[in-house]
Structure 1
Amino acid sequence: MPQRPSSNTRLPPLSALRFFEVAGRLQSFKLAAAELNVTPSAVSHGIVSLEQSLGVTLFVREPRKLSLTPEGADYLRYISEAFALIATGTQRLPGQGDRYGLQRSITVSCAPTLASRWLLPRLPAFRDHWPDTNVTVDTSQRQVNLSTDGFDFAIRMSRAQVVDANWARLFGEQLVPVCSPAYRDRLLELDAQGEIDLSRDLHRATLIHVSQASEDWSTWLAHAGLKDIDAHRGLRFDTIQMAFEAAAGGLGVALGRRPLVDRDLEAGMLVELSPQVVDAETAYWLVSAQDTGHRPDLSGFKHWLLQEARSFEEQRA
C-alpha cells in the first residue's frame, strides 16, 4: 500500500477527487455527471480546479474524445484504490452497509476450475444458512490484494505450509493419469495381452501438460517408478480445464487432479489409465482478510468452508 501521508500534507477536496475518479473510470464528463447526479459543467469545473491545484494536466480533451494523460492514468490508480478502501471500510462497520446503500456481500477470489468444480456445487448449502448474504466469486487470473482490492477471502495453492493465522488448509490434490475411454481402448488394442502396461503405454501415449502446474508428469512418474519416460514431451495447455478437455477429446493422457477431475470421471468422459494415485505436495488454502472475524456472515462462511473441506477429505480417505 502507498505510504500514509504526514499530517502536514494538504489533500485535494474530496468532491474534486470523486469527480476525477468517476470521469477517469468512464472516460466521459457527461457520463460522470449522470452517475453523480450533477451537471457536466460541475464535473468539468471541479476537475479543472483539481488540475490547477495539483499543477498537473489529468485529461486530454478533444472534440469527441476524453482520455487520461499518463500522469492522470497513474493518479487514477491511487484515487480508485482510496475510494475502494473507504467503501470497504464503511461496509464493514456494524450496520453501515445498509445505511449507505452498500449491499452486504462476501467476495472470494478463486481459480476458475476449482470454483466451478468444487466451490460452486457447495454454495447452495451456505445460502441455505445465510440467504440474505450475497457471494461474489472472482475467477480472474490476477493476483489480488485482499485489503486493497476489497476481497474477504482467497483460495490459493501452496506447496509449503504457510505459518500465518490468516491461512487455513482446505485439502490437498491427488494426481492420477486419465484419458478418454476411446484412447484407453486404442492403447489396449496395441497390447498383445490386452492389458494396460504403464511403462509401454505411456511411451506410446501423448502426455498432456498444464504449463503453470507446480507438480506435473515428472512428479507422478517419479512416484510410480517410471524413470525411462520423457516427462516433458507432449501437448501443453495453460489451464487445467483445457488439459481435461484435450484428454476427453482423445488427444492423449492428462494428469488428473482430484477433486477437479472427479466430475469427468463420474460422467465417464474420462477414465483412469492407472489406479495409482499420488498425493501432491501442493494443497489448497483459505486466505482470510485481516478483519473477517468482525462480521458474523464472514465468520460463518469461513467456518462453513473449512467444514466442507474436512468432510471432503474424510470421504475420500
Structure 2
Amino acid sequence: MPLRLPPLPALRFFEAAGRHQSFKLAAAELNVTPSAISHGIVGLEEALGVELFVREPRGISLTAVGADYLSYVSEAFSLIAIGTQRLPNQRADRSVTLSCAPTFASRWLLPRLGSFRARWPNINVSVDTSRRQVGFPVDGFDFAIRMSRAPVAGTAWTRLFGERFVPVCSPAYLATLRDERGVPSLRRATLIHVNAASEDWQMWLDATGTDGIDTTGGLHVDTIQLAFEAASMGLGVALGRKPLVDGDLASGALVEACAPTIASTTAYWLVSTENADSAIRRPELADFRRWLVDEAAAFDAHADAAADGDLAAHR
C-alpha cells in the first residue's frame, strides 16, 4: 500500500511559515499571498486532524505538535534538495547562490566580484540580499555571509574578518563639532543610530571609556547604508564600520570625526551546509569558497597593517 502523504504544496507553506513564525514572511519567500499560506495551512490541519499553529492578534506560533512535525517536514525537504543536487547532469549550468546583507554586498563583495568572474567566467553568481533566514539546503542557497560572535552548530562556518568602528561625519559637519581649541567633541553632535545593529554607539563609548554622552536621542535609521548617507548629508555623526565605510572615507564624502578605531566583537562568517562531497560533485563551490576566503584574508591583512599605522600615529 502506498504511503499516505498530506498535500505537498501545503507542506511547503507549513515549512516556510514554521521557520519564519509568520504567514506574511512565508508568503514573501514563496511568492504567494499571506491568504494563500493561511488557507493552505488550514487545509493541512484539517487533513491531519491537528492544530499546527496558535493564531493570536499579534502573530502566530507553533503548537507543540506543530513544532515536532516541523522537524520532520524540514528534514524531508532537506533530503529532497540533497537528492536533487546529486542527480547526474542536474545542473547544466555552473552557478553559486549566496545570501548576504545589502550593504556588505554593495560595498565589499560586488567591487571584488569582477576578479572572480574574470578567473571563472562560466560560473554564474547569484547574490540575494533579502532579509530572511536561510535554511540549508532547503532554500537553494549554497552560501550565506552572516555577522556573529562565534560559529553556530549545524552548518559549516569559516571566519572572514571583523569590522572596525570609528565615528564619521561630513567635513562640513566636523567643523561644527570643534571646540575653542579646535578639537572635535561628540558632546556637540547628533548621533546617528542603526536600530538593527548588534553593536552600535554604546559599544564604542564603553570601549573607548567615553562618558557624558546621551545615546538615547539623535537620529535613528534601520540600515547601515542610511546611516552613512545621513552622515554625508550633515545630519550627524554615524558609527563608521570599516570596511563598509572605506569608500566614503576615500572619496572624502565622510571623514573620521574622532579617534580611536575599535575592533568589533563580531565578525563576518561564510556559512554553508555541512556536506562533505559537495565540492566533488560541484567544484564551483570549492572555487568560490577558496576565492572568497583568499579575498577576505588579503583584506584582513591590509586592514591590520592600516590599523597598526593608525595606532602608532595616535600614540
2:192 to 208, 211, 235: 208
Instruction: State the 1:112 CA deviation.
Output: 0.3
Give me the whole-angstrom Cα distance separating, in 1, the residues matched to 2:149 and 2:81: 34
Match of 2:286 in 1: 299
Residue 61 of structure 2 is matched in structure 1 by none
Match of 2:271 in 1: 287
Greater displacement, 170-179 / 123-132: 123-132
String of CA shifts for 1:239-294, please: whole Å, max 9, x gaps.
Answer: 00001011011000000000000011111110001131000101000001233423
* CA distance in 1: counterparts of 2:110 and 2:83, whole angstroms: 27
TM-score with structure 1 setting the length: 0.71
Contact 1:85 1:150 in 2 (8 A): no
Alignment match of 2:90 (pick from 87, 96, 102): 96
- Is the counterpart of residue 192 in structure 1 residue 180 in structure 2? yes
Aligned residue for 1:233, secondary structure, equals coil
Could you tell me which of 206, 231, 254 is aligned with 1:247?
231
Q: Which amino acid aligns with 1:10?
A: R
TM-score, normalised to structure 2's length?
A: 0.71
Deviation at 1:73, TM superposition (A): 5.4
Letter in 1 for 2:208: A
Residue of structure 1 equivalent to 2:244: 260
CA distance in 2 between counterparts of 1:113 and 1:244 reads 10
Distance 2:209 2:81 in 1: 55
Q: Quote the Cα distance in structure 1 between the aligned partners of 2:190 and 2:41.
A: 47
CA contact (8 A) 1:84 1:150 kept: no
Q: Matched residue of 1:141: which SS?
A: coil
For these two proteins, the number of residue pairs brought into alignment is 252
Q: Distance in 2 between matches of 1:230 and 1:9?
A: 63
1:170 alignment counterpart: 160
Report whether the alignment pairs 1:313 with 2:313.
no
Contact 1:151–1:289, Cα closer than 8 Å, also in 2: no
For residue 108 of structure 1, give the secondary structure of its aligned residue in structure 2.
Answer: strand
User: Over residues 181-234 of structure 1, what are the superposed CA-to-partner deviations in whole Å (9 max), with x where a residue is unaligned?
Assistant: 11001223xx212x224xxx2111100011011111111111222122122321
1:119 is aligned, of 109, 122, 126, to: 109
Residue 69 of structure 1 deviates from its aligned partner by 8.1
Distance 1:68 1:239, change over 3 A: closer
**Equivalent residue runs for 1:1-40 within 5 Å:** 9-11=3-5
Aligned-residue offset at 1:153: 0.2
Larger Rg: 1
Aligned partner of residue 147 in structure 1, secondary structure: coil
CA distance in 1, matches of 2:221, 2:254: 17
| Gaps in structure 2 of 5+ consecutive residues | 12-34, 45-69, 305-315
CA distance in 2, matches of 1:192, 1:206: 19
1:48-63 to structure 2, matched below 5 A, reads none
Superposed structure 1 runs of 4+ greater than 6 Å apart: 81-85
- CA distance in 2 between counterparts of 1:73 and 1:136 reads 31
Change (3 A) 1:88 1:122: farther
Q: Secondary structure at the match of 2:4?
A: coil
1:72 corresponds in structure 2 to 40
Alignment root-mean-square deviation, CA: 3.1
1:237 and 2:227 correspond = no
8 Å contact kept, 1:88–1:150: no
DSSP-derived class of the 1:96 partner: coil
Contact 1:175 1:256 in 2 (8 A): yes
Shift of 1:314: 0.6
